[in-house]
Amino acid sequence: MSIRVMVVDDHPLWREAVERDLSDAGLDVVATAADGREAMARFPAARPDVVLLDLQIPEPDGVAVTAAIAEQSPETRVLILSASGEQTDVLAAVKAGATGYLVKSASREDLLDAVRRVAAGDPVFTPGLAGLVLGEFQRDTEQTPLTERETEVLKMVAKGLSYRQIADRLVVSHRTVQNHVQNTLRKLQMHNRVELTRYAIEHGLDEE
C-alpha cells in the first residue's frame, strides 16, 4: 500500500516542490496545508500515515500541531522538515511527539528515505539529535532515566552509526535497536510531561 502523506508548509513553492517529489516517488499526498489551523482542519478527513510538517508556520505552530496530532492520532507519524536545526526547536518537536526531524537542506533522497522509515515506525534519529537527547537526560537523571542499553545505543547513534551497524555490533536484531530508540523517544516525551506537571504544581496552575 502507498504511504499517505500530508504536507504542511506556509511557503507555496516549497510545499509544491515537496509534494511533487513525494508523488513522483510513488507516495500518496492526501492533503496539503499552509498553516496550523488549516492542517488541523484537514487532518481528520485526510487520515495520513505521515505528516510532513514545517515548524515555523502561522499559528498554531509546528510544535503545537505535532502535540495535537500525537494526542488525536497516536498511530500517525510526524516528520518535521524545518529550516532550523536549533537545539531548542529539535527538542521541542521531539518532546511534542515527532518521530523524526530533518533540516530543509536534506537531499531529496534523504527526505524520501526519512518519510518511508518514519511510516514504518523507524525514528529518524540523526547523530546530532541523539547527542541532544543524551544531554537532556544527563541533565536530570532522576526523571525517566534511560537503561544502560538505551544509553549505549544512543551513544552509537550520536557517533553516526546506522541502526544496522549498531545491531551488528551489539549482536541483536535491527528491530531491537529500533525499539530502544523508540523507548527513548517515549521517555523524552514523558520527561517533558513530568516537567510540565511539576511546573504547573509549583505555580499553582493545577488549582485553577
Cα–Cα distance, 107 to 83 (Å, whole number): 13
* Overall average pLDDT of the 65-70 stretch: 93
Phi, psi of 25, deg, nearest 5: -90, 5
Three-state secondary-structure class, residue 6 = strand
The class (CATH top level) of 4-119 is: alpha beta
Record the cell numbers describing residue 185, joined without a space.
523517544
Instruction: Give buried/exposed letters for 165-204 (b at 16+ CB in 10 A, else e).
Output: ebbeeeeeeeeebbebbeebbebbbebbeeeeeeeeeeee
Cα–Cα distance, 76 to 70 (Å, whole number): 7
Alpha helices in the chain (DSSP H): 12-24, 36-46, 62-72, 87-96, 108-119, 127-139, 148-158, 163-170, 174-202
What residues are paired with 50 via a beta bridge?
5, 77
Task: Please provide the CATH number assigned to the domain covering 127-207.
Answer: 1.10.10.10
pLDDT tens column, 144-201: 577 888 888 888 887 778 888 989 999 999 889 888 888 887 777 766 655 655 555 6
pLDDT tens column, 113-133: 999 989 988 888 776 777 777
Domain ranges for the chain, please list them: 4-119, 127-207
pLDDT of amino acid 140 = 60
109 Cα distance to chain centroid: 18
Indicate the pTM of the whole model: 0.75
For the chain, give the longest Cα–Cα distance. 53
Q: Do 127-207 and 4-119 have the same topology in CATH? A: no
DSSP symbols for 57-75: -SSS-HHHHHHHHHHH-TT
